[in-house]
């Protein structure tokens, strides 16, 4: 795959995970997998700065503000932390620090990395006046009322050493005891349990009802003080003073004189951290001296004077009860192990994915085996190995079925493929449903208001079968179906109508042709522009398209040579769905701005902000959202924010007017 495409794909994936994580409080993959994707993107951007997008997830904090709360602009941005899972990176970090400080002596403070949500606490005249979430790092949600339910957090200070105005940063969390109690209650009421304490904390702090937040016994640990008149010289001094003033400071921190002392700390806490009253996912290493912190500075997203080390994911052992086989949209059959429930990293696990027959063979899974499972995603973990020592005698091996568990068709495994497939794609119920679900998703035809249950129902009743059937739906089809008011029917029909203007590339992706993902669909449209031309493309012509290999080309040809598929495509055309589109690759207007980065602020005479952005990109430049020492230019319009101006001046960034910007182009 070409680098640019891989970068786009990564950005797309990461954005989706971020959205689920920060907006829905849901983890679709493990943090470790997520961090690996982000690290890959970061590396590619460093190697290919021309392709690096201004709003890349490597350049900004992942969260957002919500509409439910008043938003507050942070006086000091709330950043993220660089992280790593390996010790060598810590040694490299240490070397960078040593270099950055020109051989001056330095100390570290190690703390545990508490797994909750970042909060900012504003104090004025000895009183807590605000509690704010991190949000997008620049602005957060004002959740003062919820923050005030934290019992350990002093609302009034009786100490005179703190300045009139200051801010504390800390982690709000749900103690494991509250998490357990809430879940016991939920389960006994037949409700779904909360997935894990982190996501629960993030959801709870954003509740509208503070009384409910109070019932959940939330807690916090303070881990930093910020402000213009910080009376302390070091982080250590601030921790000691805050503790004296009754702030909740975890007693687990330690001062370390060298990176090897840091590594000792990491090893010591590896297991011991499981005895703490909250989840932790690693440790944070910070330079102790504030003046040195300042000299090391920040990147767009995180401080250069701190780094997080994250412990690799946790493992649990349990017994297999059975294996179920699930049929996917393309007919692929996936084995899923049903497990004796076990607690793993704060979640009760009942099922684990085994991926495919190869994986079953590799694990040599036998009935009643004890297996080790690891958190892949928060949703479904994976089996990593079998505890062979516990195997009894010669228990029978699990056999991959020969027939489709849904429709009974003999399964096929093509050469070079790991998966078994049910080829009865037109009549196997899970495939029919899966194809329609794929077609309506946001990245495809974006048909809102039509949920999975509705599709299941419509398919089961024989009302729809092919995707094109959606465009024949009318109110009458819902007659006699339970739970549909005319308003909801109307909404469904309207979003189906709206999908007729979705561009062809999304339609092509929505058809669900095997191996044709969103990016490949776009490449195809770029080359062929319409379904008519695509239909005429030979295998060789398809393979000639960048990124399209033999496997994809063959799968396309197979799909397009099937008269049934062509009939459905014709029906889509008749319904008015887009089957052609003119798109062109971005062509640079000029190269005057190559390698230069810009922040845009304020209002402009000649441009809308978006136009200015486009202009910069069209001339090879990069637009970033926040000011760092690496920034080349701040383009200042009317009414630009004073905070930005101040920061740019502080970092001696070149500030240019709109006219000066235009002059750069020539």
Ligand X SMILES: NC(=O)c1ccc[n+]([C@@H]2O[C@H](COP(=O)([O-])OP(=O)(O)OC[C@H]3O[C@@H](n4cnc5c(N)ncnc54)[C@H](O)[C@@H]3O)[C@@H](O)[C@H]2O)c1
Known binding site: residues? 31-35, 80-81, 111, 134, 171, 286, 310, 404, 407, 422, 428
CA neighbours within 13 Å on the CB side: how many for 439? 24
Stretch of residues binding ligand X (CB under 6 A), selected from 109-117, 338-346, 524-532, 643-651: 109-117
Give 134 or 505: the residue with its C-beta nearer to ligand X: 134
Considering the rule CB under 6 A, would residue 21 count as an interface residue with ligand X? yes
What x/- string results for residues 147 through 186 when contact with ligand X is judged by CB under 6 A?
------------------------x---------------
Stretch of residues binding Zn ion (CB under 5 A), selected from 94-102, 137-145, 404-412, 485-493: 404-412
Stretch of residues binding ligand X (CB under 6 A), selected from 20-28, 182-190, 418-426, 530-538: 20-28
3-state secondary structure 565-628: HHHHHHHHHHHCCCCECCCCCCCCCCCCCCCCEEEEECECCCCCHHHHHHHHHHCCCEECCCCC
Closest CA to 78 of 623, 626, 622, 640: 626
Unique residue bearing structure tokens 């946001």: 442
Considering the rule CB under 5 A, would residue 333 count as an interface residue with Zn ion? no
Q: Can you say how many angstroms the Cα of residue 46 is from the centroid of all Cα atoms in its chain?
A: 21
Helix axes 176-188, 197-205, angle to 10 degrees: 90
Considering the rule CB under 5 A, would residue 406 count as an interface residue with Zn ion? yes
Give 61 or 373: the residue with its C-beta nearer to ligand X: 61
Q: Is 583 within 8 Å of 505 (Cβ atoms)?
A: yes
Closest CA to 113 of 21, 198, 233, 240: 198
Q: Taking the complex as a whole, how short is the minimal distance between the CB of residue 176 and ligand X, in angstroms?
A: 16
Considering the rule CB under 6 A, would residue 626 count as an interface residue with ligand X? no
Considering the rule CB under 5 A, would residue 432 count as an interface residue with Zn ion? no
Indicate which residue of 67, 70, 113, 382 is catalytic. 113
Stretch of residues binding ligand X (CB under 6 A), selected from 23-31, 68-76, 542-550, 595-603: 23-31
- Binding-residue total with ligand X (CB under 6 A): 24
Give 193's DSSP letter. P
Identify the residue among 10, 18, 375, 420 touching ligand X (CB under 6 A): 18
Give 13 or 334: the residue with its C-beta nearer to ligand X: 13
Give 157 or 224: the residue with its C-beta nearer to ligand X: 224
Annotate 399-448 with DSSP letters as a single string. ---SB-TTT-PBPB--TT-SSEE---TTT-HHHHHHHHHHHHSTTTT--T
190 vs 207: CA distance, rounded Å: 22
Q: Is 487 within 8 Å of 510 (Cβ atoms)?
A: no
Considering the rule CB under 5 A, would residue 407 count as an interface residue with Zn ion? yes
- What phi and psi, each to the nearest 5 degrees, are found at residue 643? -65, -40
- Residues contacting 470, CB < 8 A, separation 6+: 436, 439, 440, 447, 450, 464, 496
Identify the residue among 11, 118, 327, 467 touching ligand X (CB under 6 A): 118
Euclidean distance between the first and final Cα of the chain, in Å? 35
Identify the residue among 54, 58, 60, 62 touching ligand X (CB under 6 A): 62
186 is an active site residue:
no
Considering the rule CB under 6 A, would residue 308 count as an interface residue with ligand X? yes
Identify the residue among 132, 354, 371, 422 touching Zn ion (CB under 5 A): 422
Considering the rule CB under 6 A, would residue 463 count as an interface residue with ligand X? no
Residues recorded for the chain: 666
Would you call 116 helix, strand, or coil by DSSP? Answer: coil
Identify the residue among 428, 447, 470, 493 touching Zn ion (CB under 5 A): 428
Q: Which of residues 197-226 bind ligand X (CB under 6 A)?
A: 223
Considering the rule CB under 5 A, would residue 168 count as an interface residue with Zn ion? no
Please report, for residues 500, 539, 655, the alpha-carbon distance to residue 535 in angstroms, rounded to integers and kept in the order given: 21, 11, 53
What x/- string results for residues 246 through 285 when contact with ligand X is judged by CB under 6 A?
--------------------------------------x-
- What phi and psi, each to the nearest 5 degrees, are found at residue 8? -65, -40
Please report, for residues 574, 606, 634, the alpha-carbon distance to residue 445 in angstroms, rounded to integers and kept in the order given: 16, 36, 39
Instruction: Indicate the annotated binding residues for Zn(2+).
Output: 404, 407, 422, 428
Give 134 or 433: the residue with its C-beta nearer to ligand X: 134
Considering the rule CB under 6 A, would residue 80 count as an interface residue with ligand X? yes
Question: Under the rule (CB under 6 A), what is the footprint of ligand X?
Answer: 17-18, 21, 27-31, 34-35, 61-62, 80-81, 83, 111, 113-114, 118, 134, 171, 223, 284, 308
* Enzyme catalytic residues: 113
């Amino acid at each position: 795959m070409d680098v640019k495409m891989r970068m786009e794909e990564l950005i797309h994936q990461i954005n989706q995970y971020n959205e689920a994580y920060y907006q829905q409080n849901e983890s679709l993959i493990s943090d470790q997998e997520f961090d690996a994707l982000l690290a890959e993107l970061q590396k590619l951007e460093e190697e290919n700065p021309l392709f690096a997008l201004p709003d890349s997830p490597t350049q900004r904090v992942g969260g957002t503000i919500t509409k439910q709360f008043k938003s507050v602009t942070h006086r000091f941005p709330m950043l993220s932390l660089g992280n790593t899972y390996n010790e060598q990176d810590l040694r490299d970090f240490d070397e960078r620090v040593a270099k950055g400080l020109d051989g001056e002596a330095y100390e570290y403070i190690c703390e545990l990395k508490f797994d909750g949500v970042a909060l900012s606490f504003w104090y004025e005249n000895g009183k807590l006046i605000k509690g704010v979430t991190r949000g997008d790092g620049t602005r957060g949600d004002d959740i003062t009322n919820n923050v005030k339910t934290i019992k350990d957090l002093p609302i009034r200070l009786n100490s005179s050493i703190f300045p009139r105005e200051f801010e504390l940063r800390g982690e709000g969390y749900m103690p494991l005891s509250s998490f357990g109690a809430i879940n016991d209650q939920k389960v006994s009421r037949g409700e779904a349990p909360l997935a894990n304490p982190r996501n629960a904390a993030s959801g709870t702090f954003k509740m509208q009802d503070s009384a409910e937040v109070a019932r959940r016994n939330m807690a916090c640990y303070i881990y930093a003080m910020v402000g213009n008149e910080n009376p302390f010289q070091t982080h250590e001094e601030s921790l000691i003073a805050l503790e004296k003033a009754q702030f909740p400071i975890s007693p687990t921190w330690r001062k370390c004189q060298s990176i090897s002392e840091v590594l000792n700390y990491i090893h010591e806490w590896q297991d011991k951290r499981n005895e703490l009253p909250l989840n932790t996912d690693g440790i944070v290493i910070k330079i102790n001296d504030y003046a040195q912190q300042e000299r090391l500075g920040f990147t767009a997203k995180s401080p250069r004077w701190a780094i997080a080390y994250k412990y690799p994911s946790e493992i649990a052992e349990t017994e297999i009860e059975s294996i179920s086989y699930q049929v996917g949209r393309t007919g692929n059959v996936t084995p899923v192990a049903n497990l004796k429930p076990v607690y793993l990293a704060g979640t009760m696990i009942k099922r684990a994915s085994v991926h495919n027959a190869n994986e079953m063979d590799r694990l040599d899974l036998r009935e009643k085996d004890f297996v080790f499972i690891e958190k892949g995603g928060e949703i479904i973990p994976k089996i990593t190995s079998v505890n062979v020592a516990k195997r009894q005698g010669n228990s029978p091996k699990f056999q991959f079925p020969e027939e489709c568990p849904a429709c009974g068709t003999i399964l096929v495994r093509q050469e070079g493929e790991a998966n078994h497939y049910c080829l009865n794609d037109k009549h196997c119920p899970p495939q029919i449903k899966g194809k329609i679900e794929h077609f309506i998703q946001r990245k495809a035809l974006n048909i809102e208001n039509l949920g999975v249950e509705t599709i299941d129902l419509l398919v089961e009743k024989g009302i729809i079968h092919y995707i094109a059937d959606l465009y024949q739906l009318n109110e009458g089809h819902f007659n006699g179906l339970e739970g549909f008011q005319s308003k909801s029917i109307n909404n469904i029909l309207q979003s189906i109508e709206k999908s007729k203007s979705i561009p062809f590339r999304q339609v092509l992706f929505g058809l669900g042709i095997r191996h044709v993902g969103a990016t490949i669909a776009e490449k195809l449209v770029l080359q062929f522009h319409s379904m008519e031309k695509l239909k005429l493309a030979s295998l060789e012509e398809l393979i000639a398209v960048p990124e399209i290999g033999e496997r994809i080309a063959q799968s396309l040809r197979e799909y397009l040579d099937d008269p049934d598929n062509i009939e459905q495509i014709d029906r889509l055309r008749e319904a008015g769905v887009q089957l052609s589109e003119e798109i062109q690759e971005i062509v640079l207007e000029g190269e005057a701005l190559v390698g230069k980065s810009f922040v845009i602020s304020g209002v402009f005479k000649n441009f809308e902000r978006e136009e200015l952005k486009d202009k910069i990109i069209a001339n090879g430049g990069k637009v970033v959202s926040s000011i760092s020492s690496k920034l080349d230019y701040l383009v200042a319009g009317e009414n630009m924010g004073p905070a930005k101006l101040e920061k740019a001046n502080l970092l001696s960034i070149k500030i240019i007017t709109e006219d000066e910007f235009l002059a750069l182009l020539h």
